[in-house]
Amino acid sequence: MLGVSRRILSGVGIVLMAIFVFIGYAAGDSVSARQQAEQVLTRYFELIHESNFRAVIDLYGGSYGVLRDWNPGVEDKVELWKRGCTVNGLQPLLVKRIVATTRQNDGSFLFDVEFRGEGDRAWLRGPCCGESGPPDSVFTYEVYPAQTGYLVRGLPPYLP
């Protein structure tokens, strides 16, 4: 009887250990995925800040509709990014900090981002275009998995 009990306990122990390993592995995966997505988001804004628009294209997974509307007749993505940041009002800011992160059911992440302003302060965008209210200091960006890695959906903050 004692031999049977030991085998049962041994089997239960193996199953419990497998569950703990699985849970730990899954938690490790989501932390790793979040870190990868955050690194892509941060690098995306670094590349924009450096005016390396050819590399930005590889990390951007959003629509070019607004950039094309602002620049009729321009189809070249590098030129659209260049004009977006030098003529159209997109701000080439660096990430100061990630305020919050939310993982979505589809594996994408929503990051609430604060950008660097002057000194060590957060960048603020005041109300524009006839709007009223407090200035914006946090902007949300989606980073989603694709075949080539994570891609960012969202343009830099806009100032008219």
Q: Which domains does the chain have, with CATH numbers?
A: 2-153 (3.10.450)
The tokens of 145 are what? 């998995």
DSSP string covering 74-98, please?
Answer: ---HHHHHHHHHHTS-B--PPEEEE
Task: Please give the pLDDT value at position 135.
Answer: 62
Q: Are 93 and 156 in contact (CB under 8 A)?
A: yes
Confidence (pLDDT) at 133? 63
Q: How far apart are CA 72 and CA 76, in angstroms?
A: 11
Print pLDDT tens along the chain (160 aa): 545 444 444 444 433 333 333 333 344 555 589 999 999 999 999 999 999 999 999 999 999 999 999 999 999 999 999 999 999 999 999 999 999 999 999 999 999 999 988 888 876 767 666 676 666 788 899 999 999 899 999 999 998 8
Instruction: Write down the pLDDT at residue 155.
Output: 97
Rounded CA-CA distance 93/152 in Å is 15
Please enumerate in sequence order all residues whose Cβ is within 8 A of that of 42, keeping only pairs 6 or more positions apart, or say none: 95
User: In angstroms, rounded to a whole number, what is the distance separating the alpha carbons of residues 120 and 96?
Assistant: 8
